[in-house]
């Protein structure tokens, strides 16, 4: 049965002795490798926080004390220690979320999968505890060193430091990585701290030496204090934190439960904001992850647990096409530079970085800075390509609007994993971008449908030097190529169906398949034609702003059917209908897209079915609309 099966709540963890905690850590690692290899999920981060999380639950009393994880994908161990040990359907519909989830447990507070937010949450909770006179409650925020590269974290630290009497502990889980090795000044500072562990040991030695020589007098105390002050900046430059008013404990071995407990108990007694600096190793205890330099085990699909190799090799995908085309563009265009926010490998910028390291900038988890820095580069004569997951561009909307678009900066944003992504839950679906960006003046957005249109869209985007451009594409393998039968002023017609018996003209339907929904548009067109309708299926690559020819085409049909993998309210279809109405076109529309709501984790196919986003759904809505006309 093992110890893990006996853990149903944190109090069970607190009853264990030192040898038992070590045994529990081993069992948890075995459990994670065995289970996550079957379902996929964030393996590396959780292997790195096993002892740290055990120590947290031994020192603090969750849920009375509030534990917040940043980023939330390192909460699997926390789930296990709070009674959630059924990982069979992890990240699947009906199973455990891959992030903290309030619906799962009272021990989960922040459902966070966008980084650098936990310290602000902790600050707010600590302030509420203070106002409510809950002096016996503590707040602990576990934040990775990668998340500390986000500006919001430092806004929070600035405010946390002002609350000198608030019981708030920041545990910095320092493994030197986010998705990739952590970069920047903060990373350099933490790296310096990692290499200066001798400071605390030296002071302890000095105190012991004084104790051995009898009652220390004023001279001895002065000697020790002076030596401490003189060596502090050289041996332990934690002054950056202490100068802000934050006490600092560490560095401490995050894989030593006893050491972590000791550090956390020290922090708990201070009665004010404290930073506990824990050194951990991502992927700890799993040899394939420990030996991997590309960080392939940050998040995995189904893998063979013995080797770490994928069960099903990934097919040639959208990200790889972008990676190849960007390198080709970089060879022709020395002014093109690459920017990403701590996701060099996931978004496909690593090949460009290998060939053009001096033209590649990983800014850390700082999407706002990435966008505005890109505007500055554009002003100075470069053409930046900023690649992020679609869900993360939300964080930089103000910068896209006011720094890039307002200044007519030629910046290209590439949005990977646009549309429905599924397993990572509500915060990771890239469903907001088209509705959000359609209100940005001058911005042009492309939604390619296949490899050829992706390459063409990227080449066209970097030629625009007086406005922001956006190229979005979905997660995963490439769709089959869809050739245009005709191109009308930039609008690709991908199918024409002209059924009819010759005695009467059939109703004419225009089907607009946006990007990854082009294949569904083709299927819908065929089905509508089988009902005796004349159907034109189009898939415009550039959808924002609405192409003038596409607007005109809506007036040549009796019904327009739009399919898009974004929110339907305010999306591309809604914009097209609005533009048509503004020109006096009264053709009815039937829209297929996502609702304005947060979608629970499930597979992409399950979400598409549940949200009525398949071809047959569009057909039913189209026929119902026609029957009402």
* DSSP sequence for 98-160: SS--TTT-TT------SSS-HHHHHHHHHHHHHHTT-TT--EEEEEETTGGGSHHHHHHHHHH
Whether 175 has a binding-site annotation, put simply, is yes
Contacts of 395 by beta carbon, 8 Å cutoff, 6+ apart: 114, 367, 368
Strand duo 534-538 + 508-513: pairing: parallel
Known catalytic membership, residue 104 = no
Contacts of 517 by beta carbon, 8 Å cutoff, 6+ apart: 563, 564, 565, 592, 613
Catalytic residue among 367, 444, 451, 604: 367
Whether 158 has a binding-site annotation, put simply, is no
Phi, psi of 314 (to 5 degrees): -70, 140
Contacts of 569 by beta carbon, 8 Å cutoff, 6+ apart: 435, 595, 596
Whether 367 has a binding-site annotation, put simply, is yes
Whether 34 has a binding-site annotation, put simply, is no
Name the maximum alpha-carbon separation found in the chain.
114
Whether 286 has a binding-site annotation, put simply, is yes
Chain centroid offset of residue 488 CA: 38
Whether 114 has a binding-site annotation, put simply, is yes
Looking up tokens 């894989």, which residue turns up?
255
Contacts of 242 by beta carbon, 8 Å cutoff, 6+ apart: 248
Strand duo 542-544 + 66-70: pairing: unpaired
Known catalytic membership, residue 282 = yes
CA distance 547 to 489: 8
Catalytic residue among 91, 395, 444, 472: 395
Give the chain's length.
629
Q: How crowded is residue 10: how many other Cβ atoms within 10 Å of its Cβ? A: 22
Structure tokens at 478: 């490439």
CA distance 224 to 211: 12
Of the CA atoms within 13 Å of residue 413, those in its CB half-sphere come to: 37
Phi, psi of 168 (to 5 degrees): -135, 125
Query: Among 461, 484, 448, which Cα is nearest to 565's?
Result: 448
Chain centroid offset of residue 18 CA: 36
For the chain, give me the number of helices (H) and strands (E)?
Answer: 25, 18
Whether 115 has a binding-site annotation, put simply, is yes
Catalytic residue among 84, 282, 449, 472: 282
Query: Among 539, 550, 536, 555, which Cα is nearest to 497's?
Result: 536
CA distance 134 to 154: 26
Chain centroid offset of residue 51 CA: 25
Known catalytic membership, residue 395 = yes
Query: Could you give the 3-state DSSP secondary structure of residue 487?
Result: strand
The sign of the CA dihedral 575, 577, 582, 583 is: positive
Whether 277 has a binding-site annotation, put simply, is no
Cβ distance 306 to 46 under 8 Å?
no
Cβ distance 419 to 605 under 8 Å?
no
Residues belonging to the binding site are: 73, 113-115, 145-147, 175, 286, 367
Q: Report, as residue numbers or ranges, the catalytic residues.
A: 282, 367, 395
Residues belonging to the binding site for thiamine diphosphate are: 73, 113-115, 146-147, 175, 286, 367
Residues belonging to the binding site for Mg(2+) are: 145, 175
């Amino acid at each position: 049965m093992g110890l893990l099966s006996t853990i149903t709540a944190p109090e069970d963890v607190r009853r264990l002795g030192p040898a038992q905690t070590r045994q529990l850590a081993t069992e948890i690692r075995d459990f994670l490798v065995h289970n996550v290899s079957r379902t996929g999920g964030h393996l590396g981060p959780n292997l790195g926080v096993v002892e740290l999380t055990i120590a947290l639950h031994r020192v603090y009393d969750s849920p009375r004390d509030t534990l917040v994880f940043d980023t939330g994908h390192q909460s699997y161990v926390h789930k296990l220690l709070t009674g959630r040990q059924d990982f069979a359907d992890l990240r699947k519909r009906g199973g455990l979320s891959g992030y903290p989830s309030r619906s799962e447990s009272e021990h989960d507070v922040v459902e966070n999968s966008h980084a650098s937010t936990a310290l602000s949450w902790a600050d707010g909770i600590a302030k509420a505890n203070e106002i409510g006179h809950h002096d016996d409650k503590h707040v602990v925020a576990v934040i990775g060193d990668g998340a500390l590269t986000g500006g919001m974290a430092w806004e929070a630290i600035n405010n946390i430091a002002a609350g000198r009497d608030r019981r708030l502990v920041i545990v910095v889980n320092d493994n030197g990585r986010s998705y990739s090795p952590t970069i920047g000044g903060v990373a350099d500072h933490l790296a310096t701290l990692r290499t200066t562990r001798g400071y605390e040991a030296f002071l302890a030695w000095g105190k012991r030496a004084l104790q051995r020589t009898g009652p220390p007098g004023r001279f001895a105390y002065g000697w020790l204090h002076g030596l401490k002050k003189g060596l502090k900046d050289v041996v332990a430059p934690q002054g950056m934190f202490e100068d802000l008013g934050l006490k600092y404990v560490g560095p401490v071995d995050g894989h030593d439960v006893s050491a972590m407990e000791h550090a956390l108990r020290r922090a708990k007694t201070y009665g004010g904001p404290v930073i506990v600096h824990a050194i951990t190793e991502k992927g700890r205890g799993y040899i394939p992850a420990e030996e991997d330099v590309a960080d392939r085990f940050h998040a995995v699909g189904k893998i063979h647990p013995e080797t770490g190799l994928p069960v099903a090799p990934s097919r040639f995908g959208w990200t790889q096409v972008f990676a190849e085309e960007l390198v080709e563009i970089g060879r022709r265009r020395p002014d093109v530079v690459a920017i990403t926010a701590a996701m060099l490998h996931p978004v496909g910028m690593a090949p460009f970085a290998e060939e053009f390291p001096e033209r590649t900038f990983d800014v850390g988890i700082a999407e706002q800075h990435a966008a505005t820095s890109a505007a500055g580069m554009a002003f100075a004569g470069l053409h930046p390509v900023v690649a992020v997951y679609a869900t993360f561009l939300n964080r930089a909307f103000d910068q896209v609007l006011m720094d890039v678009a307002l200044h007519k900066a030629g910046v290209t944003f590439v949005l990977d994993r646009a549309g429905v992504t599924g397993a990572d839950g509500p915060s990771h679906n890239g469903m907001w971008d088209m509705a959000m960006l359609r209100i940005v003046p001058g911005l042009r957005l492309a939604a390619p449908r296949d490899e050829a249109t992706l390459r063409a869209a990227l080449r066209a985007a970097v030629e625009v030097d007086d406005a922001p451009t956006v190229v979005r594409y979905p997660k995963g393998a490439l769709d089959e190529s869809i050739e245009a039968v005709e191109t009308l002023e930039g609008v690709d017609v991908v199918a024409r169906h002209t059924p009819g018996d010759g005695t009467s003209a059939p109703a004419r339907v225009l089907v607009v398949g946006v990007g990854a929904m082009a294949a569904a548009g083709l299927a819908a067109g065929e089905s509508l034609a089988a009902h005796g309708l004349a159907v034109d299926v189009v898939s415009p690559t550039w959808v924002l702003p609405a192409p003038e020819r596409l607007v005109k085409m809506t007036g040549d049909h009796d019904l327009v059917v739009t399919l898009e993998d974004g929110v339907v309210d305010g999306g591309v279809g809604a914009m097209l209908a609005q533009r048509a109405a503004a020109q006096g076109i009264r053709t009815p529309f039937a829209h297929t897209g996502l609702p304005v709501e947060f979608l629970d984790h499930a597979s992409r196919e399950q979400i598409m079915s549940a949200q009525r986003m398949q071809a047959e759904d569009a057909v039913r809505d189209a026929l119902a609309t026609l029957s009402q006309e």
